[in-house]
Every structure is written in structure tokens, then in C-alpha cells.
């Protein structure tokens, strides 16, 4: 008789994060992204452990890669990696580093953690997928402080001009940017031709609705406001 593997859900994510030990976990940075990543993998992304190489899969890019604990927890809950692997987090012999590595972790699309790179990669990926006429979409998670990097300003401007409607950028805003954003962070994207909205980054239904916003002909920016800093 085949044993049934228990289904893990949102309520299990705290325990899965607790399995990841070490002194350099960037806990606040990770927890600020937890709900967004969960909603994406639970309700939005067309991707699964058995189709990580499907050319028509959706792509999720964690540009805010210096705090990957929540990402690893969700990947474990969804069956991309074994739960026991979380216990090795940050060890010299572990596949789960302090920055995610696409060559080591199943389901990870980019190696990230150097802030300011993810959105530019996402733009290039969206361009390539559009040229192939695939239904796949690209979702990139950035932090509000990360958007201070100049490379992101270039990516935002180009994506708007190019009308990359397969691209979704979700900016987790935990009020950690150096100078803030006059008019609000969503206005920064709207100025460059994006469809943009601001939601509570802990409300799963609001997040789902934002991800399903119609934005034909324009990229979509979702500002997910959370309270924890990091």
C-alpha cells in the first residue's frame, strides 16, 4: 500500500521556515514576501514540480534573493524540494544557500540576491517569450529599497514602452527605501506606462485579484504593502 504524502498549506509555512537555521537568515526580509509568494504558487502560477522544464510554464523570479527562506518554504510546501532539505539551509554542503541558485534548486528560475538584477532579467525573459508566442507569463518580486538601483529604472521604462503585457512586477513595500516615492510607488510604474495598483501585501484575496487585473498591452505592477521591515 502506497503511503499518502500529507498536503502542506499556508498554515504550515511558519514551521517550514523554522526548520531553516543559521545566523544570517534575513528573517524580516523573508517574512515580508511570504504571503505574496504563497498566493502566486497556490493560486496564480502555471507551474508545478513535474513541469519545471516546460517551455510554456510561467516564470517566477525572486529578485529580492537575499532573504529566500519564505521562497524555500513555499517550494517545499508545493513539492519542488524535500522538506528535510530545509534543515540543511545555509550549510556549506547544502543546495539551499543564502541566495537561491537556479543550478541547484528545482523550480528556481534565476540565481539572485545581488539587488537590482531581477527585473532586467525578467524584461529580457518576457521579450523572449513574446517572440516565441507562448502564453507563459513572467512574475518578478522586488523590494521597495531594491528599486533604488538604477538598473530597475531602466527596466521599468523599457518594459512600459515595449508594452510587455506578459510581465508582472510585484514590489513588496515594507517602507525600507532610502528616499521613498513621491506620489507612492505605484505612481512610479504608472508614469512609465504600466498598469499599477497598491494592495495589502498580507491579504490573499486582494493579492489574487490584483494578479488577475486586466492589463492587455501593458506590463502590470502590484505594490504589496507590508509592515515588517527588512
**Residues with Cβ < 8 Å from 30, sequence gap 6 or more?**
17, 67, 68, 69, 70, 71, 230
Q: Is residue 126 part of a domain?
A: yes
- Model-level pTM? 0.94
Could you list the residue range(s) of the whole structural domain that residue 127 is in?
A: 32-64+107-225
Q: Is residue 27 part of a domain?
A: no
Give, for all 230 residues of the chain, the pLDDT tens digit.
334 446 799 999 999 999 998 766 567 778 899 999 999 999 999 999 999 999 999 999 999 988 899 999 999 999 999 999 999 998 889 999 999 999 999 999 999 988 889 999 999 999 999 999 999 999 999 999 889 888 999 999 999 999 999 999 999 998 877 777 788 899 999 999 999 999 999 999 999 999 999 999 999 999 999 985 44
3-state secondary structure string, 108-152? CCCCCCCCCCHHHHHHHHHHHHHHCCCCCCEEEEEECCHHHCHHH
Q: Is residue 85 part of a domain?
A: no
Q: How far apart are CA 48 and CA 78, in angstroms?
A: 8
Domain count, the chain: 1
Q: Is residue 79 part of a domain?
A: no
- DSSP for 66-90, written as a single string: T--HHHHHHHHHTTSS-GGGGGGTT
In order of 65, 125, 169, 224, the CA distances from 61 in angstroms are 9, 10, 9, 16
Q: What CATH number does residue 126 fall under?
A: 3.40.50.970
Q: Is residue 4 part of a domain?
A: no
Q: Is residue 122 part of a domain?
A: yes
Q: Is residue 176 part of a domain?
A: yes
Q: Is residue 82 part of a domain?
A: no
Contact 58, 138 (CB under 8 A): yes
Amino acid at each position: 500500500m502506497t503511503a499518502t504524502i500529507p498536503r502542506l498549506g499556508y498554515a504550515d509555512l511558519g514551521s517550514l521556515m523554522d526548520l531553516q537555521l543559521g545566523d544570517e537568515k534575513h528573517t524580516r526580509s523573508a517574512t515580508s514576501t511570504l504571503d505574496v509568494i504563497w498566493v502566486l504558487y497556490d493560486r496564480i502560477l502555471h507551474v508545478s514540480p513535474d513541469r519545471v522544464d516546460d517551455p510554456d510554464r510561467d516564470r517566477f523570479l525572486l529578485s529580492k534573493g537575499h532573504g529566500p527562506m519564505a521562497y524555500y518554504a513555499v517550494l517545499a510546501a508545493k513539492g519542488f524540494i524535500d522538506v528535510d532539505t530545509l534543515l540543511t539551509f545555509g550549510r556549506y554542503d547544502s543546495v539551499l544557500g543564502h541566495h537561491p541558485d537556479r543550478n541547484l534548486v528545482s523550480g528556481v528560475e534565476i540565481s539572485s540576491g545581488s539587488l537590482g538584477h531581477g527585473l532586467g532579467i525578467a524584461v529580457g525573459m518576457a521579450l523572449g517569450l513574446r517572440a516565441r508566442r507562448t502564453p507563459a507569463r513572467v512574475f518578478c518580486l522586488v523590494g521597495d529599497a531594491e528599486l533604488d538601483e538604477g538598473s530597475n529604472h531602466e527596466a521599468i521604462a523599457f518594459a512600459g514602452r515595449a508594452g510587455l503585457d506578459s510581465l508582472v512586477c510585484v514590489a513588496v513595500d515594507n517602507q525600507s527605501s532610502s528616499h521613498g516615492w513621491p506620489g507612492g510607488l505605484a505612481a512610479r510604474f504608472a508614469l512609465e506606462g504600466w498598469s499599477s495598483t497598491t494592495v495589502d501585501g498580507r491579504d490573499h484575496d486582494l493579492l489574487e485579484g490584483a494578479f488577475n487585473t486586466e492589463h492587455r498591452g501593458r506590463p502590470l505592477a502590484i505594490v504589496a504593502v507590508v509592515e515588517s521591515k527588512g
